[in-house]
């Protein structure tokens, strides 16, 4: 990537001609200059906050996420004057053709999302001295060739993006459901991911009714053991629960892990074919199928199991296969299920880049699992602050980012998993409640 100092200014009088080749060459050069500018300014901003941590690893008054919060805001960086003066709206007779649009998409600078054939109107502040028309820095940029319309995807009333994964069993008593739906409401929860035993119907009727009555959007995860193929009447299940207010149906879980592939190595192409067949059934019955729900640990964290696949690679290859199989119509009604585990809870940004590269647009992303837990190297206070920061980010979240969902609300009360670690991860535990509960209730 060239540095800003290596880029020479061109005369202000230079204009694009109607010759497609010249316009393409100049657009490519401009895209490179823009990418270099943003990269250098971002690096400068990061270096300015790279202060040593306190002895306990945390700042005295701000969390690590708060120190980096400027990254969550629309860019207000200033382009050099020679670049700003070149950024002129194309004349009507120079409007790009459909082939130009495709080429422009390919020229989009990584992480910038600007089509060289379209004038910047959002997201970048340009010095008034060099650009007569003020560009608002408070609006979010429109990525790709066009903005993605998410209006077809239902949202709960007064949606705040707060989610929680329900008790990890396919059924609970009405008394347990009443108690924890009430707790979810007191924490301001608007999204709840729940387990359904394959295509079985009836076990979750009471829970779904309670959630929808409380103004909470249910996300139904169709559970199969070890990623086994779904059996039974998928369409019948979707129709029944669709009438009760369930719109989102997550198909399969963490397909980039060997353990979720019947012990076999993950295969993006096999997953894409299996997912697409069931997703067509979901859409035919009026539901919205969830894609992915990838584990973010392989390739990122020590201890990843041999044979697991990096989530970014798996997402790219499996999405490409769905497109190759002719599944674009299904993807129009699909969403990406996200597991935002760990301190870096904004994996959604990496996913969105890949989705846009493959599809040319964004997919809605709904968190269905997330969290980080105290242990040998992380205190309860630190874990609480990380999760609290993830929830605090939601009011300014990206348009495609629908919900952050912590794993799990409780375990033992629903006769959950026998592994004691699941109690340790729950918000409501046999030894008391997590401090995260207090934070969420106080900050509703």
pLDDT tens, 100-121?
333 333 333 333 332 222 222 2
> DSSP state, 396?
G
The CA distance from 311 to 322, in Å, is 16
What residues does 366 pair with on adjacent strands? 337, 403
Prior bond of 158 cis (ω within 30°): no
What 3-state DSSP class applies to 71? Answer: helix
Higher pLDDT, 56 or 169: 169
- Residue pair 32/3 in contact (Cβ under 8 Å)? The answer is no
Higher pLDDT, 282 or 143: 282
Whether 169 and 273 map to the same domain: the answer is yes
What is the structure's pLDDT at 123? 29
pLDDT of 386 > 50? The answer is: yes
What is the structure's pLDDT at 398? 97
pLDDT of 98 > 90? The answer is: no
pLDDT in tens, 67-76: 223 223 333 3
Whether 411 and 265 map to the same domain: the answer is yes
In a domain, 112, yes or no: no
Whether 335 and 401 map to the same domain: the answer is yes
pLDDT in tens, 310-346: 999 999 999 999 999 999 999 999 999 999 998 878 9
Any idea what the CATH number is for the domain that residue 326 is in?
A: 3.20.20.80
> DSSP state, 302?
T
Give, to the nearest 10 degrees, the angle between helix 268-284 and helix 311-324: 60
Arithmetic mean of pLDDT over the chain: 75
Q: Give the residue from 230, 220, 221, 291 showing the smallest Cα distance to 256.
A: 291
In a domain, 330, yes or no: yes
What is the structure's pLDDT at 307? 82
Q: What percent of the chain is predicted at pLDDT more than 90?
A: 58
pLDDT of 231 > 90? The answer is: yes
Whether 187 and 300 map to the same domain: the answer is yes
Identify the domain containing residue 346 by its residue range. Answer: 162-442
pLDDT of 208 > 90? The answer is: yes
Higher pLDDT, 334 or 79: 334
> pLDDT-derived band of residue 305, with 50, 70 and 90 as boundaries?
low
Whether 178 and 257 map to the same domain: the answer is yes
pLDDT in tens, 339-369: 999 887 899 999 999 999 999 999 999 999 9
> DSSP state, 125?
B
Q: Which residue in this structure is represented by tokens 């270099």?
A: 36
> DSSP state, 36?
H
Q: Which residue in this structure is represented by tokens 């319309």?
A: 149
| Least confident residue range of 122-131, 180-189, 224-233, 354-363 | 122-131
The CA distance from 257 to 261, in Å, is 7
Domain boundary among 67, 86, 106: 106
In a domain, 148, yes or no: no
In a domain, 367, yes or no: yes
Q: What distances in angstroms separate CA 310 from CA 245, 258, 316, 351, 404, one per listed residue?
A: 34, 12, 10, 12, 21
Segment holding 30, helix H or strand E: helix 20-48
The CA distance from 297 to 314, in Å, is 12
In a domain, 141, yes or no: no
- Residue-wise burial string across 114-135, b where 16 or more C-beta atoms lie within 10 A, e elsewhere: bbbbeebebbbbbeeebbeeeb
pLDDT of 8 > 80? The answer is: no
Whether 336 and 195 map to the same domain: the answer is yes
Torsion region of 74: left, alpha or beta (phi above 0 gives left; psi -120 to 50 gives alpha): beta
Whether 297 and 409 map to the same domain: the answer is yes
pLDDT of 229 > 70? The answer is: yes
In a domain, 202, yes or no: yes
Higher pLDDT, 255 or 342: 255
Q: What percent of the chain is predicted at pLDDT more than 70?
A: 63
Whether 262 and 342 map to the same domain: the answer is yes
Q: Give the residue from 371, 409, 402 showing the smallest Cα distance to 288.
A: 402
pLDDT of 384 > 90? The answer is: yes
pLDDT of 122 > 50? The answer is: no
- Residue pair 249/282 in contact (Cβ under 8 Å)? The answer is yes
Segment holding 184, helix H or strand E: helix 174-186
> pLDDT-derived band of residue 306, with 50, 70 and 90 as boundaries?
confident
pLDDT of 44 > 80? The answer is: no
Whether 76 and 178 map to the same domain: the answer is no
In a domain, 328, yes or no: yes
What 3-state DSSP class applies to 89? Answer: coil
Whether 182 and 60 map to the same domain: the answer is no
Q: Is the whole model's pTM more than 0.85, yes or no?
A: no
In a domain, 53, yes or no: yes
Whether 60 and 180 map to the same domain: the answer is no
Segment holding 84, helix H or strand E: helix 81-86
| Least confident residue range of 85-94, 212-221, 368-377, 382-391 | 85-94
Q: Is 44 exposed, middle or buried (0-12, 13-18, 19+ CB in 10 A)?
A: exposed
What 3-state DSSP class applies to 372? Answer: coil
What is the structure's pLDDT at 417? 65
Alpha helices in 285-434 (DSSP H): 311-324, 328-331, 347-359, 380-393, 420-425
pLDDT in tens, 265-303: 999 999 999 999 999 999 999 999 999 999 986 555 555
What residues does 125 pair with on adjacent strands? 78
Pairing of β 335-341 and β 288-294:
parallel
Whether 281 and 368 map to the same domain: the answer is yes
| Number of domains, the chain | 2
């Amino acid at each position: 990537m060239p540095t800003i100092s290596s880029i020479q200014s061109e005369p202000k009088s230079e204009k694009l001609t109607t010759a497609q080749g010249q316009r393409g060459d100049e657009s490519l050069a401009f895209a490179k200059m823009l990418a270099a500018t943003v990269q250098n300014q971002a690096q400068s901003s990061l270096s300015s906050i790279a202060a040593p941590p306190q002895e306990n690893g945390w700042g005295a008054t701000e969390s690590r996420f708060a120190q980096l919060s400027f990254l969550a805001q629309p860019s207000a960086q200033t382009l050099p004057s020679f670049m700003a003066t070149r950024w002129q709206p194309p004349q009507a007779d120079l409007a790009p053709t459909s082939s130009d649009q495709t080429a422009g998409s390919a020229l989009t600078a990584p992480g910038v999302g600007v089509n060289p054939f379209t004038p910047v109107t959002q997201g970048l502040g340009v010095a008034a001295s060099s650009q007569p028309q003020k560009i608002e820095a408070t609006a979010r940029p429109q990525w790709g060739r066009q903005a993605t319309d998410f209006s077809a995807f239902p949202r709960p009333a007064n949606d705040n993006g707060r989610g929680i994964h329900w008790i990890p069993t396919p059924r609970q008593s009405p008394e347990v459901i009443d108690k924890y739906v009430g707790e979810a409401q007191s924490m301001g929860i608007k999204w709840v991911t729940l387990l359904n035993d394959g295509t079985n119907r009836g076990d979750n009727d009471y829970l779904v009714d309670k959630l929808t009555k409380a103004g909470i959007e249910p996300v139904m995860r169709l559970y199969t053991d070890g990623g086994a193929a779904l059996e039974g009447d998928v369409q019948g299940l979707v129709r029944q629960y669709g009438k009760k207010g369930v719109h989102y149906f997550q198909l399969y879980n963490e397909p980039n892990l060997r353990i979720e592939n019947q012990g076999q190595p993950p295969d993006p192409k096999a997953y894409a074919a299996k997912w697409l067949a069931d997703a067509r059934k979901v859409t035919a019955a009026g539901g919205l199928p969830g894609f992915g729900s990838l584990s973010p640990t392989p390739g990122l964290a020590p201890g990843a199991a041999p044979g697991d696949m990096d989530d970014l690679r798996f997402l790219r290859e499996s999405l490409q296969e769905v497109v190759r199989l002719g599944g674009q119509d299904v993807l129009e009604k699909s969403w990406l299920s996200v597991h935002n585990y760990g301190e870096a809870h904004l994996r959604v940004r990496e996913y969105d880049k890949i989705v846009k590269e493959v599809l040319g647009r964004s997919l809605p992303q709904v968190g269905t699992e997330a969290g980080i837990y105290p242990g040998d190297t992380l205190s309860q206070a630190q874990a609480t602050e990380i999760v609290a920061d993830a929830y605090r980010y939601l009011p300014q979240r990206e348009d495609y980012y629908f919900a952050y969902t912590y794993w799990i609300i409780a375990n033992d009360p629903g006769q959950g998993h026998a592994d004691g670690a699941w109690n340790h991860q729950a918000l409501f535990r046999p030894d008391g409640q997590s401090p995260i509960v207090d934070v969420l209730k106080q900050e509703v």
